[in-house]
C-alpha cells in the first residue's frame, strides 16, 4: 500500500476523526503521513467508555487521558505516535499501556508529560524524522540532527548502511572513533571482529543492514585520544526515533541486537546480555529478534583465552541468525 497523506485539523478531535477513518480502512501507521491543516472540526473517533456506541473504537480511559494531553504537546511527531499506540491497542494488545517498558508507551507518556509540565523534557529527534520516509530520506534528514547534545562534539551523524530490502538488521550501540571519522558503522577495530564473525558463519555484509541505537559518537578526550563513553538513557531516548524509522522502513525478518545497550533498547531495561543472549523472540520490529555480544566485547577480553571464548559466543549466536 502506498503512503496515505492525511490532512486534519491539528486538534485532538481533528486527529480522532482522521484516525477513525484510517482504522476502518485498515491502514497501518507505517502507511500514514500526517499533515496539519486549518479544516473544521470533525466527529469523534473514540466513544466515552461509559456511553453507548455504534461501531466506535473502545480503548482504555487511560489512553483518552494520555492522548488528549499528548495532542497538546509541541512535538510534531505526536500524531504519528498517537496513531501507532491506538493501532496497537486495537490490533495487538488492549492492555498495552500496562507495559511501562514498552518504547511506544514511554514515548506517549513523555509527550503527555511535556504538556502537563508546560515544556518538553528534551527535544529529541522525533520532530526531525520525516514520517513514512524511506532510508535515503531518513539518512538525509539525520545528517543535520540536533536532537541531543552529542552532535555538538561528534564529527558527523553515522547513519545505518545496507539495502532497503535487507532481511536481517543488526543494531549496535553507537559509532566509535573510526566510524565517526569515516561516517559508516562498524569500520573500526570492532568492525574487523564483526566482519570476521560474519564471514565465519556465511553472512554477506552487503546483504545486511547495519546501524546503531545512537547515531553520534560520545567520547571523552584524553590527550590526543577520544575514549568511548556509554550513552545515557536520555541520549538513547532522544535518538530512538531514528532507529524506529529505520526499522519501520525495512521491516526486517530478523533483528540482531549487538551488545547490552542495543538489547535493552529493544527488549527493555531488565535484559541481561550474558544470561538472555542467543534466543529468538518476537518483538514489534521483527518476528525473530535476538541479542548477542557486541564485537567490541571480544576486544576487551582480559587475555587471548577469554577473547577466544567471547568470540566463539558471538559466532554461535550469529550462526543461529545465518541458519534461521
147-323 under CATH 3.40.470.10, yes or no? yes
Task: Residue count of the chain, please give it.
Answer: 324
pLDDT of residue 1: 52
Q: Among the residues of the chain, which ranges form H helices?
A: 12-25, 61-71, 78-91, 103-117, 135-142, 177-182, 189-201, 233-250, 260-267, 273-276, 295-299, 304-323
Sequence ranges of the domains in the chain: 4-121, 147-323
Which of 106, 102, 114, 132 shows the shortest CA–CA distance to 35? 132
For the chain, the 3-state helix, strand and coil shares in percent, each to the nearest 5, are 45, 15, 40
Residue with cell 543472549: 277
Grid coordinates of 166: 535487507
pLDDT of residue 53: 39
In the structure, what pLDDT confidence band is assigned to residue 241 with cuts at 50, 70 and 90? Answer: very high
In the structure, what pLDDT confidence band is assigned to residue 201 with cuts at 50, 70 and 90? Answer: very high
Percent of the chain with pLDDT over 90: 53
| pLDDT tens digits, one per residue of 105-158 | 888 888 887 654 443 434 689 889 998 899 999 999 999 999 998 998 999 999
Rounded to the nearest angstrom, the gap between the alpha carbon of residue 107 and the centroid of all alpha carbons in its chain is 11
Amino acid at each position: 500500500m502506498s503512503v496515505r497523506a492525511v490532512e486534519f485539523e491539528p486538534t485532538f478531535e481533528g486527529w480522532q476523526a482522521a484516525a477513525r477513518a484510517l482504522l476502518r480502512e485498515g491502514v497501518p501507521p507505517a502507511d500514514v503521513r500526517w499533515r496539519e491543516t486549518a479544516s473544521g472540526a470533525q466527529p469523534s473517533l473514540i466513544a466515552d467508555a461509559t456511553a453507548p456506541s455504534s461501531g466506535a473504537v473502545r480503548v482504555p480511559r487511560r489512553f483518552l487521558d494520555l492522548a488528549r494531553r499528548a495532542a497538546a504537546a509541541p512535538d510534531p511527531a505526536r500524531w504519528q505516535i498517537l496513531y501507532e499506540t491506538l493501532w496497537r491497542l486495537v490490533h495487538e494488545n488492549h492492555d498495552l499501556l500496562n507495559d511501562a517498558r514498552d518504547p511506544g508507551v514511554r514515548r506517549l507518556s513523555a509527550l503527555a508529560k511535556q504538556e502537563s509540565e508546560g515544556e518538553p523534557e528534551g527535544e529529541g529527534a522525533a520532530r526531525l524524522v520525516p514520517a513514512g520516509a524511506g532510508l535515503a530520506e531518513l539518512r538525509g534528514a539525520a545528517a543535520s540532527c540536533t536532537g541531543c547534545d552529542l552532535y555538538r562534539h561528534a564529527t558527523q551523524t553515522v547513519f545505518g548502511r545496507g539495502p532497503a530490502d535487507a532481511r536481517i538488521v543488526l543494531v549496535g550501540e553507537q559509532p566509535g572513533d573510526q566510524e565517526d571519522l569515516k561516517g559508516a558503522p562498524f569500520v573500526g577495530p570492532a568492525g574487523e571482529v564483526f566482519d570476521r564473525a560474519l564471514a565465519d558463519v556465511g553472512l554477506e555484509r552487503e546483504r545486511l543492514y547495519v546501524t546503531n541505537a545512537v547515531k553520534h559518537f560520545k567520547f571523552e578526550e584524553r590527550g590526543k585520544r577520544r575514549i568511548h563513553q556509554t550513552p545515557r538513557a536520555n541520549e538513547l531516548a532522544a535518538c530512538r526515533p531514528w532507529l524506529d524509522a529505520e526499522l519501520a522502513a525495512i521491516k526486517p525478518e530478523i533483528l540482531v541486537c549487538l551488545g547490552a545497550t542495543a538489547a535493552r533498547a529493544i527488549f527493555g531495561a531488565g535484559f541481561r546480555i550474558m544470561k538472555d543472549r542467543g534466543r529468538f523472540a518476537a518483538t514489534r520490529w521483527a518476528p525473530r529478534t535476538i541479542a548477542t555480544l557486541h564485537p567490541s566485547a571480544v576486544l576487551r577480553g582480559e587475555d587471548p583465552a577469554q577473547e577466544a571464548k567471547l568470540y566463539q559466543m558471538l559466532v554461535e549466536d550469529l550462526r543461529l541468525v545465518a541458519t534461521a
